[in-house]
């Protein structure tokens, strides 16, 4: 992982409009992880991650930044919602589970890498196994043998090589073979049976595993499969045999500790409102989160994970509260505060068309499958953006999310009718937008429900 801050920002730019301060802060924090790795101990141990809080109104891109960062970094990353946690002893998830999630992600990642390394060998071995089924190997190579047998074995070898070529060309892909496959347990969802009681979660997931093993984890079953499918299954099995699971887990723990990132979304939801009352457990959650952010040891299935060097990025809208309402110790652990701006009409225009997954591209592609071509005019986009920001101002400001409801309403007609109609091109200009949406926007009650 060695993208420079500038590269990280430009990657984020592909999906998120504006919010440069937030992008920069995140990019610097990510690069600092790499920088620290270059520094020798003991100084390295002293350098703690600079945790970040992203604040900004609803629908301004906080969670979106997290989602994109997770795809970008080649480090274990997990995103949790603070509102899902409860103080130990209450019903809900316990905070340690975020570290267990991270360990899980890290193991998966390291395992995939290990498997990729043995891939070629696993492929060959899988081929051998399929060949063994298609044409049982001749055993006549050992010991002295009669001429006639020798000849026979050479023929058999040749036949096997022919078969191998066919197999590699994919000529046999659809042929059926019978193989033994491990039966996966039907999975009785123990965890949900027990209910999400904080603290019991890990116990429950361990129980689940033993249960899975009991219920036929080791049992095998004969199945008829296509050669292609059999190859895939064998390849996986062989790869599992070739990798050293202990080593993978060790590497995974160390990677989670050294470069892991935990994104705590909705952190403002655990700020207790004034007056206390039934909110006491929120502050309890903050107190539970604190040791994790400060550095502690968390037990996971794969071993103990120390959290000292994990990077935490928190985000919250902080509508009715401020970061200073967090308990002081926790505030101190998030030294970097970045504000995301409320999105403007200009931003909306850009959000509609610029990102690689923009709504304009999405709707064009969706309706394109029905033969309807959408042709967006600049003033059409402007009209959509204007309605979005008007409704945000008159109703509730839900940021870019407003664009989703508006676009859905705008193309309701085509979404329903286009399969029954011949191919057509729809000109999306200001006229069309206003004609279709004005009646709803003008009527407050209607727009409250529809847009
Ligand atoms: N700056 C932006 N650029 C592009 N798209 C955006 C931007 N901000 C928001 N969006 C779009 O709006 C949707 C909602 O944004 P997001 O989930 O990031 O909101 P949020 O800031 O996390 O809000 P909340 O505080 O309610 O969680 C996203 O799916 C994203 O596509
Ligand atoms: Mg969010």
Question: Which long-range contacts does 20-26 make (Cβ < 8 Å, 24+ apart)?
Answer: 21/338, 21/339, 21/340, 22/54, 22/56, 22/61, 22/62, 22/65, 22/338, 22/339, 22/340, 23/65, 25/52, 25/54, 25/336, 25/338, 26/52, 26/54, 26/65, 26/69, 26/313
Helices and strands of the chain, counted as H and E runs: 19, 11
> Could you give phi then psi for residue 4, rounded to 5 degrees?
-80, 160
- The continuous run of DSSP H or E covering 72 comes out as helix 62-72
Q: Tell me, in angstroms, the distance from the centre of ligand 2 to residue 58's CA.
A: 7
Nearest CA to ligand 1 atom 14: 59
Pick the closest to residue 294 from 284, 282, 286 (CA basis).
286
Closest approach atom of ligand 1 to CA 64: 18
Q: Which atom of ligand 1 is nearest to the CA of 16?
A: 3
Q: How far is the CA of 343 from the centre of ligand 1 (A)?
A: 10
Contact 75, 33 (CB under 8 A): yes
- The H or E element that residue 37 is part of is helix 20-38
Centre of ligand 1 from the C-alpha of residue 385, in Å: 15
Which helix (H) or strand (E) segment is 372 a member of? strand 372-376
Q: Kindly give the distance from the C-alpha atom of residue 66 to the centroid of ligand 2, in angstroms, as a whole number.
A: 9
First to last CA, the chain: 42
Q: What is the Å distance from ligand 2's center to 55 Cα?
A: 10
Q: Quick one: which ligand is closest to 339's CA? A: 1
- Report the separation in Å between the CA atom of 42 and the middle of ligand 2, taken as the mean of its atom positions: 38
Output the CA–CA distances (angstroms, integers) from residue 283 to 108, 262, 280, 288, in the order listed: 33, 20, 6, 9
Q: Is the CB of 19 under 6 A from ligand 1?
A: yes
Q: How much is the pLDDT for 273?
A: 64
DSSP secondary structure letter of residue 272: P
| Atom number of ligand 1 nearest to Cα 317 | 25
pTM: 0.78
Check if the beta carbon of residue 181 is closer than 8 Å to that of residue 229.
no
The helix (H) or strand (E) run that includes residue 303 is strand 303-306
Going by CA atoms, what residue is nearest to atom 28 of ligand 1?
A: 64
Report whether residue 400 contacts ligand 1, using a CB cutoff of 6 Å: yes
Of ligand 1's listed atoms, the one at least distance from the Cα of 18 is 1
Rounded distance, CA 235 to CA 242, Å?
10
Q: How does DSSP assign 306-357, residue by residue?
A: E-TT-EEEEEE--SS--GGGS-HHHHHT--EEEEPPPP-HHHHHHHHHSSTT
Query: Ligand 2 centroid vs 70 CA: distance in angstroms?
Result: 14
For atom 8 of ligand 1, the residue with the nearest CA is 61
Quick one: pLDDT at residue 284?
Answer: 80
How many CB atoms within 10 Å of residue 277? 8
Contact of 430 with 379, CB cutoff 8 Å: yes
Q: How far, in Å, CA of 5 to CA of 20, rounded?
A: 12
Give the ligand at the shortest distance from the Cα of 318.
1
Pocket test for ligand 1, best of 9, 60, 66, 345 (most atoms within 8 A of CB): 60
Pocket test for ligand 1, best of 17, 345, 400, 406 (most atoms within 8 A of CB): 400
Distance 13 CA to ligand 1 centre (A): 13
Q: Is 269 a pocket residue for ligand 1 (Cβ < 6 Å)?
A: no
Query: pLDDT by residue for the chain (451 residues), tens digit each?
Result: 589 999 999 999 999 999 999 999 999 999 998 899 999 989 998 998 999 999 999 999 999 998 898 888 888 999 998 888 876 666 667 888 999 999 999 999 999 999 999 989 998 898 888 888 887 665 555 445 556 556 666 777 788 888 888 888 878 778 888 888 776 544 444 444 444 454 566 666 677 777 766 665 556 778 888 888 888 888 888 988 898 889 999 999 999 999 899 999 988 888 876 544 555 567 788 888 899 999 999 999 999 999 999 999 999 988 888 888 888 888 889 999 999 999 999 999 999 999 999 999 999 999 999 999 999 999 999 999 999 999 998 888 899 999 999 999 999 989 999 899 888 899 999 999 999 988 888 777 777 777 7
d(CA 90, CA 228): 49
Q: Is the CB of 58 under 6 A from ligand 1?
A: yes
Residue with tokens 């070629």: 120
Q: Which residues on neighbouring strands pair with residue 222, listed in sequence order?
A: 180
Helix (H, G, I), strand (E, B) or coil at 298: strand
Q: What's the 408 CA to ligand 1 centre distance in angstroms?
A: 17
Rounded CA separation 399/53 (Å): 19
Q: Which of 399, 403, 406 to mutate to test the pocket of ligand 1 (most atoms within 8 A of CB)?
A: 399
């Amino acid at each position: 992982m060695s993208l420079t801050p500038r590269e990280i920002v430009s990657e984020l730019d592909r999906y998120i409009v504006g919010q440069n301060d937030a992008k920069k802060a995140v990019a610097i924090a990510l690069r600092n992880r790499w920088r620290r790795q270059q520094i020798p101990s003991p100084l390295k141990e002293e350098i703690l991650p600079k945790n970040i809080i992203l604040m900004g109104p609803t629908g301004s891109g906080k969670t979106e930044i997290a989602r994109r960062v997770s795809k970008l970094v080649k480090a274990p990353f997990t995103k949790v919602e603070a509102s899902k946690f409860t103080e130990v002893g209450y019903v809900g998830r316990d905070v340690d589970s975020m570290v267990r999630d991270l360990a899980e992600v890290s193991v998966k990642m390291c395992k995939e890498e290990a498997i990729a390394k043995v891939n070629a060998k696993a492929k060959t071995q899988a081929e051998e196994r399929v060949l063994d089924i298609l044409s049982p190997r001749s055993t006549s190579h050992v010991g002295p043998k009669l001429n006639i047998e020798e000849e026979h074995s050479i023929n058999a070898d040749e036949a096997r090589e022919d078969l191998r070529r066919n197999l590699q060309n994919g000529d046999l892909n659809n042929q059926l073979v019978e193989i033994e496959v491990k039966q996966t347990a039907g999975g009785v969802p123990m965890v949900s049976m027990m209910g999400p009681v904080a603290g019991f979660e890990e116990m429950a997931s361990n129980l689940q595993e033993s249960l899975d093993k009991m219920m036929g984890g080791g049992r095998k079953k004969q199945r008829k499969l296509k050669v292609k499918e059999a190859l895939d299954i064998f390849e996986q099995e062989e790869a599992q045999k070739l990798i050293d699971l202990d080593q993978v887990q060790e590497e995974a723990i160390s990677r989670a500790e050294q470069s892991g990132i935990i994104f705590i979304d909705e952190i403002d939801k655990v700020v207790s409102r004034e007056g206390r009352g039934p909110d006491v457990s929120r502050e309890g959650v903050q107190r539970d989160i604190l040791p994790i952010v400060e550095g502690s040891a968390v037990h996971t299935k794969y071993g103990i994970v120390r959290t000292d060097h994990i990077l935490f990025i928190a985000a919250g809208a902080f509508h009715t509260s401020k970061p200073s309402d967090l308990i002081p110790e926790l505030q101190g652990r998030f030294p970097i505060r970045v504000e995301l701006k409320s999105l403007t009409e200009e931003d909306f225009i850009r959000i509609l068309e610029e990102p690689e997954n923009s709504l304009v591209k999405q709707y064009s592609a969706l309706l394109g499958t029905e033969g309807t071509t959408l042709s967006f005019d600049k003033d059409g986009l402007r009209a959509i953006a204007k309605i979005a920001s008007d409704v945000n101002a008159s109703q509730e400001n839900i940021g870019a999310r407003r664009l989703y409801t508006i676009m859905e309403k705008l193309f309701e007609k085509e979404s329903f009718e286009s399969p029954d109609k011949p191919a057509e091109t729809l000109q999306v200009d200001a006229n069309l937008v206003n004609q279709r949406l004005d009646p709803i926007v003008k009527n407050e009650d209607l727009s409250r429900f529809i847009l």
